[in-house]
Amino acid sequence: MPSASAPLPAIGLFDSGVGGLSVLREVMHQLPAHPLIYLADQANVPYGQRSLTEIRHLAEGITRFLLAQGADLIVIACNTASAAALHWLRQRYPETPFVGMEPAVKPAAERTRTGHIGVIATAATFQGELFASLLDRFARQVRVHIQVCPELVPLVEAGELNSPRARRAVQEYLAPLLSAGVDELVLGCTHYPFLRPLIEEVVGQDVEVIDPAPAVARQAARVAAQQARPLDGLLAPGELRFFTTGDADRFQRAIQTLLGLRAGVGRASWRAGQLVATDQAVCHPLGDMPA
């Protein structure tokens, strides 16, 4: 356990795009003094339509990038990447702590009154061993209804959180689950919490919507508290950096829309399978960041 005066571990987070900002938001709330680095791989969004092998290669390149930027532990703020690459990354980087995402099947199974729970996610999330393990461990006594929602990630990336197109897509995807009688709905993609107001409006008051981001932030806090390795001195306490492999200006606007923060964004580019910073991120002391 680090002492009270020891440097706090830097936490790296990544997602295919803006979805992981829903996890970053919770980590910022629970661990405001920790240095944070966020990478959005928007050059390759969405991950849900890619093969497991391709996602693993992307996740490994991002892991190397975040470690080079000074991260001491890594949060895979993406359900798809967690399903495809969490166990694989832990084997490849045994000295690096990883915190992954998993659909919140356990609390949904514990709380359901009808015995029917719904999970919305990408196809890759449902294909991974992680989801099968969740069903085996926690959902033997309930019916789990799954729904792939390919349109939702692009809608969130485009900032369409309550547009007519977003409403139609949410209604279409959730209709089979509501017909099946689900009373618990698990958000199995980190993009989906930004659609939560719309989702809750569509499902009504009789269906509880579960976002796993707060639980992931609590796990990151537990892992960070166990880290005793000193920092490399690359980040200061409370510092926040953003990177994207896509359009930095567009990502900057998304950060302001989704988090209410004005932040500079650095650029990173894929070169022969390696991720390198082409424009360094502005280092923001979180407590002083403009709203």
d(C-alpha 228, C-alpha 101), whole Å: 24
**Burial annotation 136-150 (CB, 10 A radius, 16+ → b, else e):** eebbeebebbbbbbe
Bin 238: left if φ > 0, else alpha if -120 < ψ < 50, else beta. Answer: left
Per the DSSP assignment, residues forming a β-bridge with 98 are 74
d(C-alpha 33, C-alpha 56), whole Å: 31
Per the DSSP assignment, residues forming a β-bridge with 269 are 276
Q: Identify whether 283 is a catalytic site residue.
A: no
Q: Identify whether 78 is a catalytic site residue.
A: yes
Per the DSSP assignment, residues forming a β-bridge with 13 are 38, 75
Q: Cα(first)–Cα(last) distance of the chain, in Å?
A: 34
Which of these is catalytic: 78, 124, 149, 286?
78
89: Cβ–Cβ under 8 A, 6 or more apart, which residues? 56, 59, 60, 63, 74, 76, 96, 98
**Burial annotation 248-282 (CB, 10 A radius, 16+ → b, else e):** bebbbebbeebbebebebbbbebeeeebebeeebe
The β-bridge relationship of strands 208-210 and 274-279 is unpaired
Which of these is catalytic: 189, 216, 255, 263?
189
Q: Which residues are catalytic?
A: 78, 189
